[in-house]
A and B are shown apart, each in its own frame.
Chain A
Amino acid sequence: MPHNETVSAELAGTEPAGTEPGSVDPGGSAVPGRSSDLGDSGDAAETAPTEPSPPVAPDDFPPPTPKRRGPTSIEALALLLVFGLTARPGLVELFAAPAAQAWAARFVAVCVQAFPFLVLGTALSAAIAAFVPAGFFHRVVPKRTALAVPVAGIAGAVLPACECASVPVAGALVRRGVAPAAAFTFMLASPAINPIVVVSTLVAFPDDPRMVVARVTASLLAAVTIGWLWARLGRTEWLKAPAHRHHENGKWAAFWAAIRHDFLHAGGYLVIGAAIAAALNTLVPETWLAPIAEHPVLGVLALAVLAVLVSICSESDAFVAASLTQFSPTAKLAFMVVGPFVDVKLAAMQAGTFGRRFASRFAPAVFCTAVAASVLAGVVLL
């Protein structure tokens, strides 16, 4: 019976529980600061305000009987569906304008392309949470963080998926007690240096294998730098307390519960990122790029910013980079290094997995490091 769970702080004792208001939330109630995520009134019943309570199992309270019974989420969902079906002609009309159609096509495309990798990533992270014994990573990952970081970076090569998959996996690693510095290095390195990405880069730059070498070197360098930076400067309280996992009956129950939760959670944030990326893709005209392509410094910065805005999957960004022929090789390299590290879609997902306070510090640091690493690699190797 899945209700006799206890709340466990699994972040290996590093978390001063309750320091961040709203981060530790044992009662499962709405968080004041976050309830504005999405104006959803359908949750009134289960998010009945609970008084600040010591971290005890929710079942120690009597079941919170809703005083005023608002619509439950299943009813809200049914209403929305009925509305959606009846409003279909209106929707089609609304999306009749070519710009709106282009936006919708891109939005759906990013989602359809990303969902399979998100499913893979959440399945992996759920498997880590449910089946890998807690002590495993303590044995495998080097004790010293300074050493664990580069090991994690190289280990990133084994996850053959794009960045949508690596974020939930990194979340699961942190929950399993891996040092955050190492988990972040893994999260950054994996989508940039895995075999699929290396091959696609090779195909996109057939006559220029140095581009592949430069990409792997710069990505690994930047990922490891970020890991070390986090180990020195990072503060655990920037991280959202990891989701409290229940000890459901049996490992499989935990596995399915973790997939469900992670997919719904990360998927929601992915949708935000996809919507923004599709809008920027559609609205920012390419003509803005042409005048700065020639400039050595501005060109690099322009493509780095473009990588953040367009949020292309790391498996295909090499083809796009290759087609930006007016730009210098270093600028193209920056496009390919920055893209898997930080982009709109990714920042939204990281904010969802690790918290906004984390993402607002992490994203700029990662951007600067990635640009610096690509310039360095570009100067030395290209």
Chain B
Amino acid sequence: MRRDAQAVLLLLVGGGLIRLAWTGDYLDYVKPYAFWLILPAGAVLLVVAAVTAWGAWHERKDGHEDHGHDGHGEPKVAWLLLAPVVGMLLVAPPALGSYEAERTGTVVGAEAGRSSYPELPDDVDPVPLTLLDYAARSIFDDGLTMEGHRIQLRGFILYDGDEPQLARMVVSCCAADARPVKIGLDWEAAGARPELAADQWVEVVGVYTSRQGRDEINGELVPYIAVESVTGIPTPDNEYQ
């Protein structure tokens, strides 16, 4: 691989990273804090690309055609770096959603060790909670802290058989370790059940119910919420939690 080709490759990888950071699309793949990792990494790669290009240009000016025998035959395997560039810039896959969530067990067990469940504020109605927080308070604290509060949850819809559930992907490092947390929807209070499409983002307002189900994939408990209202919302910038 010639020097100038290497420079272009480095430019593409570095530029791809910076573009992800710039557009905010990186949130589909990694945690928000990774912004401060990918931006400098992209910048370093651009500098390396610039130094490489400058060296290649300088050499040519001095009359040396570069035949690639710097190093031990530059690695052909480097061509594979085009794959993530294509992935980042051209394919740009969306964040993991219901397809993934339907195939992975709910993650709530990780919160089993949590010891304190702070009281919810009285002056907010409904109280916004994350799905993971709601599930942990329901399962490990029997919903005690949620008595007398209306709760607001935001997530996407997935189907467990023909029953819609609310879910959100929990990511601890990157999307490769994404696991869903699932909440069942109890429609008794709401009456009719509206038509909900899988992957549709919704805001659910409701109250705690002691009803619980089990996730068939890993046997974990799935808490329910007694739904009062469901409203469609636009997909958030950061779909993971």
| A316: chain B residues within 8 A (beta carbon) | 172-174, 177
Proximity bits, A271-294, B CB within 8 Å = 1, else 0: 110110110010001110110000
A257 close to chain B: CB less than 8 A = yes
Proximity bits, B22-53, A CB within 8 Å = 1, else 0: 00001011100010011011001100100110
Asked whether A106 lies within 8 Å of B59 as measured between CB atoms, the reply is no
B192 close to chain A: CB less than 8 A = no
Asked whether B51 lies within 8 Å of A256 as measured between CB atoms, the reply is yes
Asked whether A123 lies within 8 Å of B172 as measured between CB atoms, the reply is no
Asked whether B67 lies within 8 Å of A64 as measured between CB atoms, the reply is yes
| A105: chain B residues within 8 A (beta carbon) | 28-29, 93-96, 175
A236 close to chain B: CB less than 8 A = no
Asked whether B219 lies within 8 Å of A25 as measured between CB atoms, the reply is no
B231 close to chain A: CB less than 8 A = no
Q: How far is the CA of A311 from the CA of B175 in the complex (A)?
A: 12
Proximity bits, B123-152, A CB within 8 Å = 1, else 0: 000000000000000000000000000000
Asked whether B87 lies within 8 Å of A108 as measured between CB atoms, the reply is yes
CB distance from A260 to the nearest CB of B (A): 5
Q: How far is the CA of A77 from the CA of B91 in the complex (A)?
A: 18
Asked whether B109 lies within 8 Å of A265 as measured between CB atoms, the reply is no
A333 close to chain B: CB less than 8 A = no
Asked whether B30 lies within 8 Å of A109 as measured between CB atoms, the reply is yes
CB distance from A161 to the nearest CB of B (A): 10
Asked whether B84 lies within 8 Å of A108 as measured between CB atoms, the reply is yes
CB distance from B62 to the nearest CB of A (A): 7
A72 close to chain B: CB less than 8 A = yes
Question: Known contacts A263-B45, A271-B81: does B62 contact A116 (CB below 8 Å)?
Answer: no
Asked whether A40 lies within 8 Å of B218 as measured between CB atoms, the reply is no
| A207: chain B residues within 8 A (beta carbon) | 113, 115
Q: Which of B100-108, B205-213, B222-230 contacts A (4 or more CB under 8 A)?
A: B100-108
Asked whether A119 lies within 8 Å of B93 as measured between CB atoms, the reply is no
Q: How far is the CA of A85 from the CA of B28 in the complex (A)?
A: 22
| A106: chain B residues within 8 A (beta carbon) | 96, 175-176
| B20: chain A residues within 8 A (beta carbon) | 112
| B34: chain A residues within 8 A (beta carbon) | 112-113, 116
Asked whether A265 lies within 8 Å of B72 as measured between CB atoms, the reply is no
- Please tell me the size bucket of the interface on A: 35 or more
A179 close to chain B: CB less than 8 A = no
Asked whether B38 lies within 8 Å of A319 as measured between CB atoms, the reply is no
Q: How far is the CA of A158 from the CA of B62 in the complex (A)?
A: 44
| B62: chain A residues within 8 A (beta carbon) | 1
Asked whether A286 lies within 8 Å of B104 as measured between CB atoms, the reply is yes
Question: Which one of A27, A63, A88, A286 lies within 8 Å of B218 (CB-CB)?
Answer: A286
Asked whether B68 lies within 8 Å of A47 as measured between CB atoms, the reply is yes
Q: Number of B residues whose C-beta is below 8 Å from A? A: 81
Question: Known contacts A88-B90, A267-B13: does B174 contact A112 (CB below 8 Å)?
Answer: yes
Instruction: Return the chain A residue nearest B68 by Cβ.
Output: A46
| A108: chain B residues within 8 A (beta carbon) | 29, 84, 87-88, 91, 93, 175
Q: How far is the CA of A64 from the CA of B173 in the complex (A)?
A: 48
Q: Which of A12-20, A90-98, A132-140 contacts B (4 or more CB under 8 A)?
A: A90-98
B78 close to chain A: CB less than 8 A = yes
Proximity bits, A233-246, B CB within 8 Å = 1, else 0: 00000000001101
CB distance from B74 to the nearest CB of A (A): 7
CB distance from B41 to the nearest CB of A (A): 4
Closest 8 CB pairs of A and B: A316-B173, A46-B68, A28-B69, A325-B109, A268-B77, A319-B172, A109-B175, A264-B78
Chain B residues in the interface with A (C-beta under 8 A):
1-2, 4-6, 8-10, 13, 17, 20, 26, 28-30, 34, 37-38, 40-41, 44-45, 48, 51-52, 55, 59, 62, 64-84, 86-88, 90-91, 93-96, 99-100, 103-105, 107, 109-110, 112-115, 172-177, 179, 217-220
Chain A residues in the interface with B (C-beta under 8 A):
1-3, 25-31, 34-35, 37-38, 40, 42-43, 45-47, 58, 63-64, 72-74, 76-77, 80, 84-85, 88, 91-92, 95, 98-99, 101-102, 104-113, 115-117, 119-120, 123, 204-208, 243-244, 246, 253, 256-257, 259-261, 263-265, 267-269, 271-272, 274-275, 277-278, 281, 285-287, 289-290, 310-313, 315-317, 319-320, 322-323, 325-326, 352
Beyond A84-B86, A112-B20, 6 extra complex contacts between A and B, CB < 8 Å: A25-B72, A28-B69, A38-B77, A47-B68, A107-B83, A119-B41
